[in-house]
Structure 1
Amino acid sequence: MQDSGAKVVVVFSAEGEMTPFLKDYMMLNITGIQWVASEAWVTASVFAGREFYAYLGGTIGFGIRQGHIRGLRSYLETESLLAQHSGYMNTSSPRVAYNVYKAVYAIAHSLNNLLGCQEHSGPFYNKSCAQRNDIQPWQLQHYLQEVAFNIGGEEVNFDLKGDSIPYYDIINWQRGPGGNIEFVNIGLFDGTKAAGMELVIEEEKIVWAGHQSEASCSYCVFTHIRCQLLKICRLRWR
């Protein structure tokens, strides 16, 4: 990386594997790289300290869509674990937890539909229903693939292959008031949109590597990053 002329680097990694790499990278004092992050480390708070900004500021990547889980904060504040430091206690921007939250609701809606099946009008052999005291996984799977519901203003459903429709936040690492890194939403990927319309990025909100409002060779760099983000999102979906 010291010798290369590349200015855009795409990294697929978890934060654990990034940590030793970044230690050496920072010791060599390499700067000016525009990072494109995979979902596994794009919201890694371990890299949010002010000492990382000179090297990682301007990073762009996609993250699991952030959502609101009603009652989660107040529920956790009944727990004695509040005095302990734990990533699970941070309810300010739930992403993975929000996906689990939607998954639980999807199973609940599927079970409700399964148990509401009318005999002789069911979806299985001879229009039968599942037996309430002996539900088979494949029977629940049938209802899960057809489930559709709204939660927090978001439609949750599945495509013909049984995959969930992908939604991602596009995140940019910007300098916060205290010099630390803040994860700022600058766009989204919406898998319900037609091809070519799924990715929306508010380019004017982006802070690029080196704390610049424009990237060097801005059009080429931005086009490349847009292309990489689309590839990443589509690969994860399909």
Structure 2
Amino acid sequence: MLSGVRLGYKIYDNCGTMDILRAALSLVSGLKDEIVDDGCIDTESVHAILGHSGSTPTIALLHIVGRFQIPVISHFATCACLSNRREYPTFFRTVPSDYYQSKALAKLVRHFGWTWVGAVAVDNEYGLNGIVAFIQAAEEYGVCIEYSEAFSSSDPMHVIQRIIETIKQSTSKVIIAFMSHREIKILASELYKQNITGLQWIGSDAWITDASLTDSKGHTILLGSLGFTVAKANIPGLDEYLRQLHPSQFPNSQFVKDFWEEVFDCSLNETVNTQRQPCNGFESLQTIQSEFTDVSELRFTKNVYKSVFAVAHALDIMIKCNDNKEVFSNRSCFDPINIQPWQILQNLNSVNFTTVDGEKVYFDSNGDSPARYELVNLQMTTTGIMKGETVGVYDASFPEGQQLIVNSISVAWANGLFEVPVSVCSKKCLPGTYKVLQKGKPICCHDCMPCPAGEITILTESLQCLKCPPEYWSNNDRDACIPKPAAPLNGPASCDTQHSA
């Protein structure tokens, strides 16, 4: 693939800040002054943009670069709103849309019989769209929402306290949290301070496997949480590549410098007065175990890998078109020396390949990828660290009744429970009673009224009682019809026993 062709790149990163306008304008205004490798062809603009990781900044980016027909491929922007092809015709993603995650979460809640839940979201496109999609899907499965709240990490504390009070006063024991690691840490810490425990958390993919949740005692309140995230993946050659890295390859990288000095406890700059000994230049990562060299927990990183390969395959389609015009006779080919972004955009729709570990990669008509998740459960390891363990899968390509598979035996529940927690507004109405909805409350909230005399119910959750046949009567439990007792014979003797005078 791409024989004799190399892909060039320019990385824009500002430590999580959202200077999207500057980056977008740089990308579309031309890179002639920024590409110094003589092997690269000068170009007026990039052919594709990989990123952003968040839905809100991705939307801002698309509004700027969309008119230039530059394809944007995100590895982590999951908002279902981005599937709107009319509004975002140049957008693709290698992570499933929240439309599927919301349906998966609703099915998960129903699977465990939780019909009465609360919902909290981050106050942006990701959280609000995600929680709305969840509520819509949940209603289809007979799940009711006791409350729905939203906040952002920058909100004043009185907003957080109002939500804490809502949770405190609620009767539901399950909370759907559609937010990032920033918001869930704020919420968990405040709940921990006020000793509000015993809640079963259901998390979205933006926080359920975030490693930073292990850095505070207050976050242990999240133990037992369940949530969906993309599957673990193996990127061939990455481990070997990382272990061969050396600061001499990146003389201008502050990150590499700081990382190297921290790991080997030495100084790369001899002129700086430091307590560390100078690095000798023979340090190696080959035997070092660190978060940087650990490739066992890669999830969203694999989506970046797939994004790069998607662009490469789109380019490959164009090059092979020119090399095999007889095979591609039914389509027009492009000049591979003068490739335009809109041509990459067009060919991304035809991309369909399988990674070396067997994962299929393609985009549907909305630019979305296949939806497959692992169900993760936050459990405490023997080393005292909270870690996500896979306890099930969800695959949207399977038939309706087979999409969710849960290994309930291996699930660790909230608050150390050994059984599935219960979260219902009202208990089931047993045989002999019928449901009467509570005025002004959702359909999950009802009273169980006993059937009147002469009527019964034989099923749970009955909406009305059934009258017994005329010769039958209801028993005391009102769950069966029994024969009426025979009338006593106290009247006059019959005619055939009388004698004439």
Structures share a fold, TM > 0.5?
Answer: yes
Give 1:91's aligned residue: 295
Deviation at 1:45, TM superposition (A): 1.3
Aligned mates of 1:218, 1:186 — CA distance in 2:
21
Greater relative CO, 1 or 2 (CA 8 Å, sep 6+): 1
Change (3 A) 1:214 1:198: same
The code of the aligned residue for 2:409 comes to E
Change (3 A) 1:99 1:149: same
Q: Which runs of 5+ in 2 are unaligned?
A: 1-166, 247-255, 264-289, 426-501
Preserved contact between residue 413 and residue 420 of structure 2 (Cα < 8 Å): yes
SS in 1 for 2:394: strand
Q: 2:342 aligns with which of 134, 138, 159?
A: 138
Give 1:64's aligned residue: 230
Give 1:112's aligned residue: 316
Aligned mates of 2:367, 2:207 — CA distance in 1:
27
Preserved contact between residue 61 and residue 172 of structure 1 (Cα < 8 Å): yes
Aligned mates of 2:187, 2:397 — CA distance in 1:
37
Aligned mates of 1:22, 1:112 — CA distance in 2:
48
Deviation at 1:131, TM superposition (A): 1.7
Q: 2:377 aligns with which of 149, 172, 176?
A: 172
The code of the aligned residue for 2:307 comes to A
Q: Does 1:2 align with 2:168?
A: yes
Q: 1:186 aligns with which of 367, 391, 404?
A: 391
Give 1:205's aligned residue: 410
Give 1:48's aligned residue: 214
The code of the aligned residue for 1:36 comes to I
The code of the aligned residue for 2:420 comes to A
Aligned mates of 1:180, 1:143 — CA distance in 2:
45
Change (3 A) 1:95 1:109: same
Q: Which runs of 5+ in 1 are unaligned?
A: 221-238
TM-score computed with the length of structure 1 as normaliser: 0.81
Bigger drift between 78-87 and 13-22 goes to 78-87
The structure having more radius of gyration, on CA atoms, is: 2
The code of the aligned residue for 2:364 comes to D
Change (3 A) 1:160 1:196: farther
Bigger drift between 134-143 and 1-10 goes to 134-143
Give 1:226's aligned residue: none
Preserved contact between residue 173 and residue 422 of structure 2 (Cα < 8 Å): no
Aligned mates of 2:295, 2:228 — CA distance in 1:
20
Deviation at 1:32, TM superposition (A): 0.5
Q: Report the aligned-residue RMSD.
A: 2.6
Give 2:200's aligned residue: 34
Give 1:224's aligned residue: none
SS in 2 for 1:2: helix
Structure number having the greater helix percentage: 1
In percent, how many aligned pairs have the same letter? 31
Preserved contact between residue 189 and residue 218 of structure 2 (Cα < 8 Å): no
Give 2:306's aligned residue: 102
Deviation at 1:51, TM superposition (A): 2.6
Give 2:421's aligned residue: 216
Change (3 A) 1:28 1:111: same
Preserved contact between residue 203 and residue 225 of structure 2 (Cα < 8 Å): yes
CA deviation vs aligned residue, 1:58-110 (integer Å, no higher than 9, x gap): 10001122100112122112224353589654422111111111111121122
